């Protein structure tokens, strides 16, 4: 499951702004997006990832994704960095 990928990742960025920046720099290996995040928040990063042929994985919960990242709040998107 994708939560484990985040737990095992050595480097990742959290949040939409940082993820878009990492995508544009070509540093993203995989993008993980929470299904319960607002589509208007995640649409830009998903589109950018698909444009750059970066795999997009979906998880069910922002709260669980945030917890997997070690933060107290939910995370709409996490990019695993090369």
**Sequence-distant (≥ 6) Cβ neighbours of residue 5 within 8 angstroms:** 30, 32, 57, 80
- Spell out the residues 6+ positions from residue 66 whose beta carbon is closer than 8 angstroms to its own: 14, 72, 73, 74, 75
User: Could you report the per-residue pLDDT of 27-77, keeping only the tens digit for each?
Assistant: 999 999 999 999 999 999 999 999 999 999 999 999 999 999 999 999 999
pLDDT at res. 31: 96
pLDDT in tens, 24-38: 999 999 999 999 999
The pTM of the whole model exceeds 0.85: yes
- Which H helix or E strand runs over 33? strand 28-34
1 has pLDDT over 70: no
Does the structure show a pLDDT above 80 at 2? no
| Cα distance between residue 23 and residue 21, in whole Å | 5
Q: What is the CATH number of domain 2-81?
A: 3.30.1330.30
Residue 5 has pLDDT above 80, yes or no: no
Q: Where are the domains of the chain?
A: 2-81
């Amino acid at each position: 499951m994708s939560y484990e990928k985040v737990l095992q990742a050595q480097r990742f960025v959290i949040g939409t702004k940082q993820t878009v920046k990492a995508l544009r720099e070509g540093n993203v290996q995989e993008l993980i997006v929470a299904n319960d995040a607002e589509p208007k928040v995640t649409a830009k990063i998903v589109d950018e990832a698909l444009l750059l042929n970066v795999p997009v994985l979906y998880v069910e919960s922002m709260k669980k994704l945030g917890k997997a990242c070690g933060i107290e709040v939910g995370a709409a998107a996490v990019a695993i960095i090369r």
